[in-house]
Amino acid sequence: MATGVLWPWIWGAALAQGAGTSPAPPIEQRPGQQVVDAEATLPEVRVRAQAGSEAAAPSADAARNVTVLTARDIARSSASSVADLLATEANLPLQSYFGNDRSATLDMRGMGESAGSNVLIVVDGVVLNENDLSGANLSSLSLSDVRQIEVVRGGGAIEHGSGAVAGVVRINTLPELDDGERRGRAQVRVGTLGERIGDLQLATRIGAWTPVLQLHRGQEPGWRNNSEFDSTRSALTLRWQASLGDVKADAHARATRQRDRYGLPGPVSRDVFESGSERELRSTQAPLDGGRTELDRQDLGASLDFGTLGQLTWTSSHRERRNPFYIGVDASRPLSEQEQLTTSERWDHQLKHRVGFDLAGRRQEVSLGWSRMDGEYARWDRPSSAPDHTRLQGEAASNAWTLATTLSPHSAITVQAGARWDHFESTRRTQQWSRDCAFAPFPVLVCSPYAYEDTQAPMAGDWFNRLGELGVVWQPGADTSFFARRNGTFRAPNLDELNKAAQNLRPQRGVTQELGWRQRAGERLSWSMTWFDLHLQDEIYYGREPNGDEVNRNRDEASRRQGIELAGRWQPARGWRLNGMLSYLVPSLAGRSGDIPLVARTTASLTLDWQPSTAWQAALSVRHVGPRRDGNATDADNPPLARLRAYQVVDAVVRHRLDDLELALGVSNLLNERYSTLAYSQTYYPMPGRQAHLTASVRF
């Protein structure tokens, strides 16, 4: 695999939001019933379907493993970020290079290094993932703004298309207000590492109109040298809800602007990592590497409810991103001569018509949808003013039609089926900024103007993907349900992968099968168990061609992730709540002896929540991730690359509430665990050690 000489480029590209392709893939990865009186004192936010988004399906009716995190769950958790919160969910371990949300990816069901391209993050109905290897930038979300999260495991390609292989995380952020209601929230967080983070949300409803303003400012020096992350974000949303005769209308427009600056400290050697010396773990060999991101996004959505004629929803989204960065900086040269740059632009449109009707005394539903995506991407290896620089340029587009039904042939049986017809096109060009010169006549040198010229034939892809799904839910009683599901998935090569690809690179395709059981025993105890089996053909990965070149290619052998997920919630006594998750999976390649790299067989979490009074609340959570193979491990390694060790991270928080003011004292990594979620050729990315933070929140 890649040699140590490549690592400065590898880890830098990993955080440059789509800045190229490497063995280390770029990252830029319950409804509880209220039974305790004290819980009623926590602020509750009603969550309904936003314009252009689907309402959260009750988990008892879903033919797949779905977890719903409500506003109350989020308010009582020990997490300080969206990534930390989701990492406590079953089979959803966190991958991170430097410990902040910008470098974080959620690895659902053992996708390993390609998790950022196989798990979709959808915010208010809009896909957050980019068209390159950067995945979804979770730093664009503040936990205080989140109202509800759905973790949908087992795919989601029928509705969302390419990339929804392992599953989808759906996040709702907009509050629901009554006419004349006003709501505000301000939050400030300070920490022992010197972080200063502030969030503000203001919302009011005046008649049919609801404006919402969200502001964020964060300064995080980071645990390691040169791991700082500073960000500013503003979002203005205007929502309109009214009745037009018998038609209920709901529309919104949102503009988001985000700017951030970050450092790239890179990996440390195995000797440094094993030494346990905090001074060496926090050191960096790349003190000048880093970058910044400029992101602008506009979202539009509308929903018209015609009653018996159904509901028509439409969403459109446009975003532009500019990401200059510096990799392997030479301190003896001006920084301006070493800048690299990526830019991207993406448009998404979706139209859906859903009709519900009664048949044989039971409710049935059918929906028809159309979606369109267009994306552009470019990367410059040197400043655009430099002669003979190289530009990698790509374009992608998809058109899709979807059909989905939810039928109830019997009072205890629900059948969910769907189909998708998807056409995906992409092109990639490698161009050089150059000019031609000739003597005409000698010694007069005449040169043409600088222009981009293709250095090789453009690479193009044109693929049709057809897939379907079928699920059945059987509810023999009010507290018991069983489900079975089989659905197809696919992922087209993204534009980063096409920039360094095998000639025959093609989409990966797969099938997921699931069997599950959900049970509630009274008001205080509930649990679920899910068995799953994900088969992939032509899985896209970064590997070696027969001629020795390392490129993005399709696996020759089939890959398989098979396992079981357990989750439970128990309220043993008044004021106490215990949540637990455990998963075990076998990630294998046909004909190979070792597991898929960077995938743990076991993951688990346990969260204890205690609320002794209306004013006090505390939570303690433990996350466990088992050992994993090195990201560059192969069966031919002699000697084998060392495995990443298992780790356990403990987080704790104590909250005190006085009217509308809340103070929270939290400690992350309470036991100061030394761990790394990623490693390539025995170089490691140490995660932050123990740190404390104080958060003050006020509602008005």
The Cα 489–Cα 565 span in angstroms is 20
Cβ-Cβ contacts under 8 Å for 635 (sequence gap 6 or more): 592, 593, 594
563, two tokens: 């396992």
> Binning pLDDT at 50, 70 and 90, where does residue 138 land?
confident
The Cα 513–Cα 527 span in angstroms is 20
Beta bridge partners of 363: 358
Q: Using one digit for the tens of pLDDT, what is the confidence trace for 306-335?
A: 999 999 999 999 999 999 999 999 999 988
User: Residue 260 to residues 139, 219, 641: CA-CA distances in angstroms?
Assistant: 9, 10, 36
Residue 398 phi/psi, 5-degree rounding, is -145, 145
* Amino acid 56: pLDDT: 37
SS3 500: coil
The Cα 485–Cα 196 span in angstroms is 46
* Amino acid 44: pLDDT: 35
> Binning pLDDT at 50, 70 and 90, where does residue 347 land?
very high
Reply yes or no on whether the pLDDT at 373 is more than 80.
yes
The Cα 72–Cα 44 span in angstroms is 6
DSSP-derived letter for residue 9 is H
Angle made by CA atoms 18, 131, 106, in degrees to the nearest 5: 75
Cβ-Cβ contacts under 8 Å for 637 (sequence gap 6 or more): none
The Cα 581–Cα 660 span in angstroms is 33
Q: Using one digit for the tens of pLDDT, what is the confidence trace for 160-180?
A: 999 999 999 999 987 888 888
Given a contact cutoff of 8 angstroms between Cβ atoms, the answer to whether 415 and 472 are in contact is yes
Which whole number is the average pLDDT over 537-562?
88
Q: CB neighbours (10 Å) of residue 696?
A: 13
The Cα 700–Cα 698 span in angstroms is 7
Which whole number is the average pLDDT over 278-290?
94
Reply yes or no on whether the pLDDT at 376 is more than 50.
yes
- Please give the single-letter amino acid code of residue 450: Y
* Amino acid 25: pLDDT: 34
SS3 612: coil
* Amino acid 49: pLDDT: 36
Higher confidence at residue 336 or residue 630?
Answer: 630
Cβ-Cβ contacts under 8 Å for 414 (sequence gap 6 or more): 61, 63, 406, 407, 408, 472, 473, 475
Q: Percent of the chain, pLDDT > 90?
A: 64
Strand ranges of the sheet holding 676-680, from the earlier edge strand across to the other edge? 268-269, 683-686, 676-680
The Cα 280–Cα 270 span in angstroms is 11
* pTM for the full predicted model: 0.86
Beta bridge partners of 691: 668
Higher confidence at residue 524 or residue 21?
Answer: 524
User: Residue 518 to residues 32, 243, 414, 487, 565: CA-CA distances in angstroms?
Assistant: 14, 39, 15, 20, 12
Given a contact cutoff of 8 angstroms between Cβ atoms, the answer to whether 147 and 172 are in contact is yes
Q: Using one digit for the tens of pLDDT, what is the confidence trace for 400-447?
A: 999 999 999 999 999 999 999 999 998 888 888 888 888 778 787 888
User: Residue 230 to residues 216, 222, 293, 324, 326: CA-CA distances in angstroms?
Assistant: 11, 10, 10, 15, 17
The Cα 567–Cα 547 span in angstroms is 47
Given a contact cutoff of 8 angstroms between Cβ atoms, the answer to whether 339 and 388 are in contact is no
User: Residue 605 to residues 88, 131, 620: CA-CA distances in angstroms?
Assistant: 6, 32, 11
Q: Using one digit for the tens of pLDDT, what is the confidence trace for 634-690?
A: 888 888 999 999 999 999 999 999 999 999 999 999 999 999 999 999 999 999 999
SS3 688: coil
The Cα 352–Cα 401 span in angstroms is 10
The Cα 550–Cα 545 span in angstroms is 6
* Amino acid 429: pLDDT: 86
Mean model confidence pLDDT for the chain: 87
Reply yes or no on whether the pLDDT at 52 is more than 50.
no
> Binning pLDDT at 50, 70 and 90, where does residue 58 land?
very low
Residue position matching structure tokens 């000697």 = 639
Reply yes or no on whether the pLDDT at 6 is more than 60.
no
* Amino acid 9: pLDDT: 33
User: Residue 366 to residues 164, 306, 312, 411, 416: CA-CA distances in angstroms?
Assistant: 22, 15, 12, 18, 10
Beta bridge partners of 247: 244
DSSP for 400-411, please give it: EEEEEEEEEEET
| N residues, the chain | 700
114, two tokens: 């390609």
Decide the pairing of beta strands 167-172 and 119-123.
parallel
Higher confidence at residue 665 or residue 30?
Answer: 665
> Binning pLDDT at 50, 70 and 90, where does residue 32 land?
very low
The Cα 419–Cα 76 span in angstroms is 39
* Amino acid 59: pLDDT: 57
Reply yes or no on whether the pLDDT at 24 is more than 90.
no
Q: Using one digit for the tens of pLDDT, what is the confidence trace for 244-256?
A: 989 999 999 999 9
Given a contact cutoff of 8 angstroms between Cβ atoms, the answer to whether 364 and 356 are in contact is yes
DSSP-derived letter for residue 559 is E
> Domains of the chain, with CATH numbers?
4-699 (2.40.170.20)
Reply yes or no on whether the pLDDT at 23 is more than 60.
no
Q: Using one digit for the tens of pLDDT, what is the confidence trace for 175-221?
A: 888 888 899 999 999 999 999 999 999 999 999 999 999 999 999 99
* Amino acid 61: pLDDT: 75
Which one, of 387, 389, 421, lies nearest residue 404 by Cα? 421
User: Residue 502 to residues 408, 458, 550, 556: CA-CA distances in angstroms?
Assistant: 47, 13, 9, 13
Reply yes or no on whether the pLDDT at 575 is more than 70.
yes
> Binning pLDDT at 50, 70 and 90, where does residue 60 land?
low
Q: Using one digit for the tens of pLDDT, what is the confidence trace for 591-600?
A: 888 899 999 9
Compute the CA torsion angle 585, 591, 593, 599 (nearest 10 deg): -40
Q: Using one digit for the tens of pLDDT, what is the confidence trace for 350-361?
A: 999 999 998 888
